Structure formats: C-alpha cells, structure tokens
Structure 1
Amino acid sequence: MSNSTNSAEEEESYPLHECVFLGDVRKLSSLLRNNDVARKDKHGNTALHLAVMLGRKECIQLLLAHSAPVKVKNIAGWSPLAEAISYGDRQTISSLVRKLKQQAREQMEHRRPDLIRALTQIQDFYMELKWDFHSWVPLVSRILPSDVCKIYKCGTRIRLDTTLVDFSDMKWERGDISFIFQGEKIPSESLTVIDNKARVYQKVRYEETETEIEDEVDILMSSDIMAAQMSTKKISFARAQSGWIFREDRKETVAGLYRSDIYTITGLVLESRKRREHLSNDDLQKNKAIIESLTKGNAHTLDTNGEPTRRASLNPPPETNVDWNTYISSEPGLYPSLGRDLVYKESSRNFRATIAMSDDFPLSVEMLLNVLEVIAPFKHFAKLRQFVEMKLPSGFPVKIDIPILPTVTAKITFQKFDFRDDIPAELFVIPESYIEDPLRFPDL
C-alpha cells in the first residue's frame, strides 16, 4: 500500500511531464495555468524536452505558447532544440528556433534598463585592449593575428574600433571595423557595425526575416548537433611562484602601470560533444560543403515557383515502448532512449591559464562586464565575457591568457585606461558619406 502511495506521489510531482508522456493535451492545457512550465524532472528534462523527444506536436505548440524555455539543458547537456534536430521534424525545429530568438530578445529587453543605468553611472573613458593569439603548434602560432582594440565610452554610448573582424575555427577576417552602441536609441536602432574601408554600415538586426530563420533551420538539419562548454566545476586559482631556490609569489607590472599579482588557473576543461544520428551517410560525406554553401547563402536550388528548396523532415523514429513509470524511476540521466539511437562522440581537453590581478586598475570587474555585454556580438569578446564572469581573485584582470580553441590561446592585456570628459560626440555618429549595406556582416 505504502509503495503504491510513494509511486503516485513521485508521478504527481511532475504532472506536466506525465501529461506530455501520455499525450493528454487537454489535461496539459489545464495544468499549465498552475504549474511551472520551466520545471525540470530528475533527468533535467523539462516538459518541452519530452514533448520534442516523443514527437508530441500539439504539446510542443501548447508549451511554446506558454513560454517554455528553449535554451535550457538537461543533465546530458542537451536543449529541446538539440532533441528536435535529432527527431528531424522541420516544423518543430522552426518553431523552436523562432521561440529561442524571441526569448533572447525578451531577456535582453529585461536587462536593458539595468545596463543603461550602469553605463550612465560609469565615468566616460578611453581604453585599449591588446589581443595576441598564440598556439602550442609552432607553425600555427607564427601565422596567428594580433590586434589592439580601442574602446570609447560616453554616456550610454560605446564605440569599439578593431582590425580583427572575426576569429573562429582557425580563420580570421581582417579589416577596419567600428562597432557603435547607442543606448538612448530603441533596440532595433541601437547597434551598428561600420566597415571603414568599404565605407558602409550595417545595423545589427534585432529580428531575423523568415528566409533567415529557414536558412538557419537548413543549417541545423544538415550539421552535427554540437555542445561545447568550458567547464569550471573544478577550477582553482594559485599564486604563481618565481625563483629557483627562494620561492616567492610572482608579481608583475602590466603595461608599465598596473602592479599585479600573478595567478595560475587549473581545472579549466573544454568539453565538446557532438551527435549525428539525424544525418545520413550521404550527409556526412557532403557535410562540410553543405554547411559552407548554406552559410554563404548560395546552397539552394529553386523550385518551380522560384522559392528555395528546403531540407525535408526526416521519417520519425520508431514509437517508444518506454512508459512513464519506467522513465521516471530510472537513475538520474540514465533513462531509456525516447527517440533515435544516439550517434555520439565526446572529448575533453584540460587547459591551464594565467591571470594578472591588479588593484591599481580604475575600472571594476562589474563595469567591465557591462561593457562586454554591449559588444558581445564579436565572438572573441563573448569568450572574454564568459571568462570574466568566473569567480576571480580580488582586483581587476589586467592580463589574461585564456584558451579560445583547442590549439589556440588568447592573451588579452588592458594596456591603457583613462577617464576622460572630452570624448567627441561625432565618434558615435555614422559618417554621412557611408552607405547602408544590410548584408555586409552576415553573422550579425
């Protein structure tokens, strides 16, 4: 008697999940009024995770209508979108991509007033950041770029000048680029990227077009499902030592200005996982060429109406014979497969990093994070922001050596900083002679 009572209590603790499992749309609709749509079960799955894995289309649309989070990950590190790509239903993937972008915009809007307030409270300044990329592979290290980024802050406006347009997958693009954030403008008008060589500018798009979303769905359906993150669970900071016989804590004056304590960082692990059960053998052979073509926007053949030919949905995986009790009574993260059998590969690489912390630098870490939030569309700055968000020793990180790719480390040095009250307003204005080119930076 007591066992059945305990079992019932366990089932009742995840009523949304159980409704999804049973495909009971009517009951799910009524329960959504009083239950947390973002709640995770013991496996880290939300009700949306289960709806996607089980192919419950009506449940998926109902959960999305109630703002079920799309970015949240389960114990294995997979989001509902990752599971949707595995299942292979195009309509579901499109719905999740749209909702993901909507939720990202809403989150940005929620944070925006605090960000603007924080920028207003920081005194105006000019700052220089030097980036040096290096590698333990000698030939690679010789060809890696370096760059000095100049950052101007005036009121709620920020300008960043850089010659390194993009850096990813051992490829980089050089140029003369300015990124301007104008906090007083509406979100769709506040971010602009200027190509000073081509004398063109592009407003960073606030919302994607239907074509852009469908192009993204084609890319997702044609490529590996990737999950990569820098794990900091076992991270530790230790004072770096100098001297052979008489050991002492290492100190350094960075940029000739900032007296700093040097720390070594251990326990940084780059965890990389990929899945490809949704790809055919033909896909795997063509994969690289397909992705390159899609990202350049020229992969599509046209149908008789002149519309791009889109990637079709996959045949659904076999219906699961796993019932709710079996699923929920499994060990955390070890439930039976509910969709396609995983084709899975994972790797991890340990990294060491060093950091110079100084109490002499006039900016605080919190102020730096507010500036980095504005310029996060640049991929390498997003990595720097992720690193600075860690629990660092006291002071300001004036020099950082951080891994950004498995074979490449970036050294970032804050080599100059001045509070100023004479930063010219015209720095934040697009020159009249520049022409708008909405396709200059396709990734923004």
Structure 2
Amino acid sequence: MAVDITNKYPLHECVFHDNIRRLSALLRQYDASQKDVHGNTPLHLAVILGHKECVHLLLNHHAPVKVKNNQGWTPLSEAISYGDRQIIKCLLRKLKSQSREMLEGKRPELIEALGELADFYLELKWDFQSWVPLVSRILPSDVCKIYKKGTSIRVDTTLIDFSDMRWQRGDISFIFNGSAKSRNALIVLDNDQQVFQRVSYDQESESELEEEVDILMSSDILTATMSTKPIVFCRAQTGWIFREDKRESVGIFPADFYLVQGIIIESRKRREHLSDEDIQRNKAAVESLSKGEVLDGTNETLYRSSLTPPSSCDISWQQYIMSETDPRFGRPQICKESRKCFKATLAMSEDFPIQVGDLLNVLEVITPMKHFSKLREFVEMKLPPGFPVKIDIPVLPTISARVTFQDCQFRENIPPHLFRIPSDYKEDPYRFPDL
C-alpha cells in the first residue's frame, strides 16, 4: 500500500500553491532547508515556479541558497533558467551573505588552531593538465609559497585564480592576519602594480552584483560532482620481473605511492536560457582560448533584461509530490551530461613535518582561490597514512592538477614584515573584481 506523503512537506505545499500567508505562519514551526522527495527545498520550488513573494519570504528566513537537489541544481541555477534578473540578484546576494556568515562562524576555532601550530614555510607546485586536445599546452603552472607566523599566513603565487577556463597571472600575495578585525583580515597584494585590495566581508556594491548577474545570465549553468564512494587506493608497483611496492622521494620526503581508482566526475551543463547569439559568443571565446589567445573579460555595458517567464505549471501538488521521477516545471531544459572516470597517483609521506589537519586549516584561510578549495575538498577524503606530498586532483570536468609539496620547514625567524602591507602600496578596491 502506497504511503501518503502529500502532507509531509507543508512548506513545499504552501509554496506550490503560492500561499504566502500560510507559508509565513508555518516558517515559525518548520525547517526551511527540508528537502522533498525530489531533493527540492521550498526555495527551489519557489524559484522554479516563479513565486516571487515566496522567494523573498524564504530568503528572509535564511533558506539555504547553496544546497543542491537530486539533479545537482541549486536554487540559483534554477533562477538563472527562469530568467528573472531581480530574483537572480537576490539569490546571489544571499548566497554571498551566507558564505560570509559560515566563514565568520569558523574564524575563532581556525585562529586558535593556527596559534597552536609552529611557524613554518611551505612550498607547493601546481601543474595543470587536460585530456582535451590543444588545451594542456596553454594551461598554467605555478609554484606557491606559504608562510605561517603566529595566526598570520602569507601566500605568494603567480596564479590569482583558475576557474571556468579563465586565469589571471601576475605577482600576487594573499595575507591573512588572524588578529585583525574581519574586514581587514584578508588582503591581496598586486606586487607588480604595487596596489592592494581588502577581500571584504561586507556586501558588494550594486554595480558589482549587476555585473555578476550579467555573467550568470549569459553563461552555461554548470554543476559538477565528484563521487568518491567507490574510491580504491592500491599500492603502486615498480619493477619488470620482481614487482614491489613503489617508494620514492618527493623532494626530500620519502613517500609510498598509490594508484587512486574509482573517482567519478559527473558534470551537467544547461543552456535553455541562452540565445543563439550567446551560444555562438561563448563558443568563440572557448575556441580563442584553445588557440592561446587571451580573453579580455570585457562585458556589455547594458545590463541584460529578464527573460519572458516560462509556461505556468499544469500539474497538481499530488501529481508532483507522488511522482517517482522529477517532474519538470519552468523552461524546458536543454541539458548535456558527461561522466568521466578519473585515475590519479598519490604519494603519501609519514616524514612530512605538518599534519593533514594543519594543512586543512591553512587552506580554509585561502578559500577565495578556488583551485585551493578543490585541493581542500580532496584532502578531506580518507587517505592512506601520512601526508599527501604529491596528489592529482580534478579542478574542472576536463582539467586536473598535480600538486607537489616540494618543501616544508619549521622556522622561528620568519620576518614580520611579510605580513604587512608595504608602505608604498596604494589601495585599489577594484583590482580583483572576483574577490
């Protein structure tokens, strides 16, 4: 006998019927982050159906924006598909606000952990590679130097960011000062131009948000998941006749080598919100990149208008909630899926001076650098014993990076001036618009 679940999700039902008064009352009793049988939160459903008052009410009650449904889409993804510019901007603003709140919540624990750790110098190398023809030859590499003193961290790099097939090179330094107030805690220096920018925890300006909305509305909607449930670590072997476990030095650290199998990268791309002109423009940008041409990143001066709303929902609440498959509302999806098995090599050393947990605390500080967040995600997995002195990680569906920890030394004499803004540097709050 089928179980009646039509009354199990009262917030979702209110949103479905656009019953704003009842939704307001029920939000005092029920969790706005609850998922229904299709993985949708009430906010997902409000966005998909275009019920704007419900969207605003849910956001005011701190409904999560980053959560994904069973298909891997966030409320922001669905808002881009629906195409209402103001709703996209509201969700984007709330997403940034919730991310800041999460980081601030972790801050006291993070600073305490950094203070207990001995001062050190750490050096790691990034080598990016791709299985797509012509792409690997133009991918960047980088040697990153990390200094830790007290509760302060400095990261010197030539690669400010690497995401969505765009990167920015230069002589860049991130400085995190754990003893400073939050708005002054994270600074990025451009050592070529001798300017600095505070990575603000305050709200972005309206113009910055509008520009981000334009980019979202003119780009593919992407989601990628890395499944590690079937992952297997096997000792790598060496020798032609007499096989034995591979053990070599990485830098000065002896390491055991493993083959990593079972990592699956699943990516999905939607473009039902794009015009033919958008698709051709984006295709031309990718082709230019594959030829080694630099993308200038310029945007149109006029903001994009909202799209015409999709057709109204023509199924009932009972049909939606009782459906075994995910019923589609809104704009008909134009979706492309890909699935790639990722094989990697991993070198673990038990002689490395710092622990994996210490590395995670350092990586927490530099999350604005998106490729470091990918490294953090990978290192959080249950790894074999030791420290991952060499590791392959997927950073985009078609691109992976080999990270090698070349050096690590505890040092008592790290100069304090490394963690201060040089006196001749000028502040430029717009030098790095993506931070």
Superposition TM-score, scaled by structure 2 size: 0.92
Contact 1:354 1:402 in 2 (8 A): no
- State the alpha-carbon separation in 2 of the partners of residues 319 and 295 from structure 1: 40
1:343 alignment counterpart: 334
- Does the 8 Å contact 2:266/2:397 carry over to 1? no
Counterpart residue identity of residue 337, structure 2: E
Would you say the 8 A contact 1:53–1:83 is kept in 2?
A: yes
Quick one: distance in 1 between partners of 2:424 and 2:284?
A: 38
Identity of counterpart residues, as a percentage? 62
AA aligned opposite 1:12: N
Q: Does 1:326 align with 2:319?
A: yes
Report the CA distance between 1:130 and its aligned residue.
Answer: 2.1
Does 1:249 pair with 2:250?
no
1:278-320 Cα shifts (integer Å, max 9, x gaps):
12223323446799999845411xxxxxxxx321111111111
1:357 to 348, 364, 383: 348
Q: Give a deviation string over 1:248-284, Cα, whole Å, max 9, x none.
A: 211112213x221111101122222111111222332
Distance 1:335 1:215, change over 3 A: same
Shift, 1:245, TM fit: 2.2
The residue type equivalent to 1:238 in the other structure is C
CA distance in 2, matches of 1:97, 1:347: 27
1:418 paired to 2:409 = yes
Q: 2:189 aligns with which of 189, 194, 202?
A: 194
Residue equivalent to 2:229: 233
Q: 1:210 aligns with which of 206, 212, 217?
A: 206
Is residue 212 of structure 2 the alignment partner of residue 219 of structure 1?
Answer: no
Query: Matches of residues 25-174 of structure 1 in structure 2 within 5 Å?
Result: 25-135=20-130, 141=136, 144-168=139-163, 172-174=167-169
Residue 43 of structure 1 deviates from its aligned partner by 0.8
TM-score normalised according to structure 1 size: 0.90
Structure 2 gaps, min length 5:
289-293
Q: Does 1:394 align with 2:385?
A: yes
AA matched with 2:207: T
| 1:290/1:299 contact within 8 Å kept | no
Gaps of 5+ in 1: 301-308
Confirm whether residue 185 of structure 1 aligns to residue 180 of structure 2: yes
Q: Secondary structure at the residue paired with 1:11?
A: coil
Please give the alpha-carbon distance, in whole angstroms, between the structure 2 residues aligned to 1:29 and 1:137: 50
Contact 1:131 1:411 in 2 (8 A): yes
Moved more, 147-156 or 279-288: 279-288
Matched, 1:432 2:423: yes
Using a 3 Å threshold, how does the CA distance of structure 1 residues 205 and 313 change in structure 2: closer, same or farther? same
Aligned residues: 428
Q: Contact 1:215–1:294 (CA<8 Å) still a contact in 2?
A: no
Q: 1:315 aligns to what?
A: 308
Partner SS state of residue 313, structure 1: coil
Instruction: Tell me which of 255, 261, 265 is aligned to 2:256.
Output: 261
Aligned-residue CA RMSD in angstroms? Answer: 2.4
Q: Which amino acid aligns with 1:233?
A: K
